[in-house]
Structure formats: C-alpha cells, structure tokens
Amino acid sequence: MARSLQKLRDALGKMPELIAAYEQQLMTAWELERALAFEWAKEAKVDTIQFDAKKFLRLKAAYRKACDAGETQFTFDGHELLVAYAKYLIQYLEGKFSR
C-alpha cells in the first residue's frame, strides 16, 4: 500500500512538468498555424479588402459558419479566405472596430 501511495505521489509530483510541456506544445501549434496562415497570405495573390464595421460583422458571421461546417476555407465577398487566416484577421480587426 505504501508503495502505491509513493507511486501516486511521484506521478502527481510530475504534473506541473507535464502541464508545462502540454502548454508549450499548444503554443508551438498556435505559432505554426499562425505562420502557415501568414505564409499562405504572403504567397497568394491576395486582393485587399476594405473593411467597415458592417463588413467586419459579416466576416465574423461567415467565419463562424465555415468553422461550424468544418471548412478549411470559405468565400467572402468574392475572396477565398483560409479559416486559419480569417481567425487572425478577425483578431486584428477586433482591435480596430472595438474602440
């Protein structure tokens, strides 16, 4: 019984280390997703889209619809957008339109 308790204590003692490793993997995955989205945007022949508050709300709705459908890209105002790129575009635009 004492041995089992010690094994449990040892395992629980490693939890902070395991949690830190998991969080690092999440950050790495997030950074990779972000880099891929921006690399795609850089290499693609992307036209610019001018946003106002109404168009921004329509983008958010189109993004949610694509996410709910499990899509990896969607068309918005005649422009093909990757869902991953749109996620960061929305984060950027939130700062512009939430003021």
User: Does residue 99 carry a pLDDT above 70?
Assistant: no
pLDDT tens across 30-59, in order? 888 887 877 777 776 656 789 999 999 999
pLDDT bucket at 96, cuts 50 / 70 / 90 = confident
- End-to-end Cα, the chain, rounded Å: 61
Q: Is the pTM of this model over 0.75?
A: no
Name the DSSP class of 72: S
User: Does residue 63 carry a pLDDT above 70?
Assistant: yes
Place of tokens 């990779």: 32
